[in-house]
Amino acid sequence: MDYVRYSLRACVSCTVLLMVLGFVGCKKKNPVEADETPPTVQITSPGSGAFVSGTVTIQVNVTDDTGVAKVEFYVDGIMKESATTSPWQFSWNTDSYSDGAHVLMAKAYDKANNVGSSSAVTVVLQTPFTLNIRNTVLTDMTISVVGFGSRLVTPAATSTFLFSANPGTVGYSAQTSGKTSSGTAIGLTMSWSSTFNTTGLKTRSIDLVVGSDYFFMYMRNTGSRNLSPVYVNYALISQTMDNILIPNDGQTYQIGYYRAYSNTQVRAYWVGASTSYTYWNQGTHFILPFTDNQSATLWNNLIGKYGEANEPGPPRQLGSPAQLPLPAVQRPDLERIRGTVSRDYAQEKQ
Peptide bond into 327 cis (omega under 30): no
CB 125 within 8 A of CB 53: yes
The C-alpha R_g of the chain, in whole angstroms, comes to 43
Mean pLDDT check: name the lowest of 125-129, 174-178, 223-227, 337-341.
Answer: 337-341
Task: Report which DSSP code applies to 307.
Answer: T
How many percent of the chain have pLDDT more than 70?
77
pLDDT average, residue stretch 297-307: 64
pLDDT average, residue stretch 195-221: 93
- When the pLDDT of each residue in the chain is averaged and rounded to a whole number, the result is 80
Q: What's the rounded Cα separation, in Å, for the pair 180 and 187?
A: 10
pLDDT average, residue stretch 103-125: 94
User: pLDDT category, 87, cuts 50, 70, 90?
Assistant: very high
User: pLDDT category, 314, cuts 50, 70, 90?
Assistant: very low
More confident residue, 89 or 23: 89
CA angle centred on 77, ends 74 and 78, rounded to 5°: 60
- Give pLDDT, residue 195: 95
The total number of residues shown for the chain amounts to 350
Beta bridge partners of 11: none
pTM: 0.69
Is the pLDDT at 24 greater than 50? The verdict is: no
